[in-house]
Structure 1
Amino acid sequence: MTRAILVVDVQNDFTEGGALAVQGGAAVAERISAYLAEHADDYDLVVASRDWHDADNDNGGHFSTEPDFIDSWPPHCVAGTPGAEYHPSFDTSAVDVHVRKGMGEPAYSVYEGQAEDGRRITEVLAERGIIEVDVVGLATDYCVRQTTLDAIEHGQHVRVFTDLIEGVHHERSAEVLAELAHAGAVVVPSAGASPEVG
Structure 2
Amino acid sequence: MTRALLIVDVQNDFTEGGALGVTGGDATAAGITRLLEEHAGDYDAIIASRDWHDPDSDNGGHISDAPDFVDSWPAHCIAGTDGAEYDTNLDTSAITHHVKKGQGKPAYSMFEGVTDDGSTVAAVLIERGIETVDVVGIATDHCVRATALDALEHGQHVRILTALVAGVAPEPSEAALAELAHAGAELA
Shorter-chain TM-score bucket reads: over 0.9
Partner Cα distance (2:179, 2:107) in 1: 20
Q: Which residue is equivalent to 1:52? A: 52
Partner Cα distance (1:176, 1:101) in 2: 21
Q: Which residue is equivalent to 1:117? A: 117
Q: What is the CA-CA distance between 1:98 and the residue it aligns to?
A: 0.4
Q: What is the CA-CA distance between 1:124 and the residue it aligns to?
A: 1.2
RMSD between aligned residues: 0.6
Q: Which residue is equivalent to 1:129? A: 129
Partner Cα distance (1:132, 1:125) in 2: 9
Calculate the TM-score normalised by the size of structure 1. 0.94
Partner Cα distance (2:90, 2:8) in 1: 11
Task: Name which of structure 1's ranges 122-131 and 138-147 shifts more when overlaid on structure 2.
Answer: 122-131
Q: Which residue is equivalent to 1:62? A: 62
Partner Cα distance (2:103, 2:52) in 1: 6
> How many residues are paired up?
188
Task: Name which of structure 1's ranges 140-149 and 124-133 shifts more when overlaid on structure 2.
Answer: 124-133
Q: 1:53 corresponds to which letter in structure 2? A: H
- Deviations 1:89-129 (CA, angstroms, capped at 9, x unpaired): 00001100000001100000010010000111111111111
Q: Which residue is equivalent to 1:73? A: 73
Q: Which residue is equivalent to 2:99? A: 99
Partner Cα distance (1:75, 1:143) in 2: 16
Q: Which residue is equivalent to 2:7? A: 7
Q: Which residue is equivalent to 1:163? A: 163
Q: Aligned pair 1:175/2:175, yes or no?
A: yes
- Deviations 1:43-68 (CA, angstroms, capped at 9, x unpaired): 00000100000000100010011101
Calculate the TM-score normalised by the size of structure 2. 0.99
Find the residue that maps to 1:93 and give its secondary structure. coil
Find the residue that maps to 1:111 and give its secondary structure. helix
- Deviations 1:76-95 (CA, angstroms, capped at 9, x unpaired): 00001000000000000110
- Deviations 1:157-188 (CA, angstroms, capped at 9, x unpaired): 00000100010010110111111000000001
Identity of aligned residues (%): 64
Ranges in structure 1 where 5+ consecutive residues have no aligned partner: 189-198
Q: Aligned pair 1:90/2:77, yes or no?
A: no
Partner Cα distance (1:37, 1:19) in 2: 29
Q: 2:129 corresponds to which letter in structure 1? A: G
Q: 1:159 corresponds to which letter in structure 2? A: R
Instruction: Extract structure 1 runs of 4+ deviating beyond 6 A.
Output: none
Q: Which residue is equivalent to 2:154? A: 154
Q: Aligned pair 1:27/2:27, yes or no?
A: yes
Q: 2:66 corresponds to which letter in structure 1? A: E
- Deviations 1:10-66 (CA, angstroms, capped at 9, x unpaired): 000000110001011001000000011000000000001000000001000100111
Q: 1:21 corresponds to which letter in structure 2? A: G
Ranges in structure 2 where 5+ consecutive residues have no aligned partner: none
Partner Cα distance (1:84, 1:104) in 2: 15
Partner Cα distance (1:158, 1:113) in 2: 19
